[in-house]
Amino acid sequence: MLSEINIPFLLDTARKAGEAIMQVYQSDIAVEIKDDKSPLTLADRAANAIIVEALKNKYPQIPIISEENKLTDYETRRHWSYCWVVDPLDGTKEFIKRNGEFTVNIALVHNGTPVLGVIYVPARNEMYYARQAEGSFKTDASGNTQRINATPIDANQPVLVVASRSHLSQETQEYVEVLRQKYATVDFVSSGSSLKFCLVAEGKAHLYPRFAPTMEWDTAAGQVIATEAGATVEVYPDAIPLQYNRENLLNPFFLVRV
């Protein structure tokens, strides 16, 4: 199944969803508040419609989990060997702030493990993607594609942590203090949405501690892009891989590291 998935088709689908997002981004953004208190815009809906229709038409045998779709009952989902996990607009708050740090996330999960991931950054026209055992790649705004790799920590260089300088949770603060006892310099890199996975994957950060709530659609695509680039994505502090299509789609705390 995995080898049959057409990567160019997924990249094109993500770009089309991104184009729809940018049309809203460049106009007045109307915001609704969902039942879980998270924001929803026309861009979320438009991108979701494009992705879901494309995936259903191309791969009707593979079910879809999307942030903007009604969730199928777990008694049905637990029998799925393959499924798509989609976030049509990851970083809606960043979108509303107009800082460009929002993404389109499409992942394929096999028996709980992400095996293919696409992350598109519409405001930058940058694309990240990976398929299991094939490595991770980035296409820049000029259309140049290159393989990307995570960068190991060098004890003589600053350790770069993807986290907010001003809004660190207590757990993150404690984790950073442990790092400071081990390394001479610990610095911060800030970014929104699934771009944090991409920063580790392309060697612009070493660690991404996420000790705050996320959902499976926030992380599935980023996980395979990071792991195929040479990083690990594990539950913290248990050091076991994040799993997907679980009964509760709320992720535990996790750590992305090289």
Q: 3-class SS at 161? A: strand
**159-257: what CATH class?**
alpha beta
Distance CA 95, CA 191 (A): 13
Q: Which residues pair with 108 in a beta bridge?
A: 84, 116
Amino acid 92: pLDDT = 83
CATH number (3.30.540.10, 3.90.1150.10, 3.20.20.150, 3.80.30.20) of 2-147 reads 3.30.540.10
Amino acid 35: pLDDT = 62
Residues of the chain with pLDDT under 50: none
Listed by start position, the domains of the chain span 2-147, 159-257
Helices and strands (DSSP H and E) totals, the chain: 7, 14
Amino acid 1: pLDDT = 81
Nearest to 186 by CA among 201, 172, 199: 172
7-32, pLDDT tens digit by residue? 999 999 999 999 999 998 888 766 66
- Mean pLDDT in the chain? 93
Amino acid 184: pLDDT = 87
Amino acid 14: pLDDT = 98
Nearest to 45 by CA among 73, 23, 63, 62: 23
Residue environment code for 33-44, b if the CB has 16+ CB neighbours within 10 A, otherwise e: eeeeeeebbbbb
Distance CA 95, CA 122 (A): 10
Distance CA 258, CA 172 (A): 17
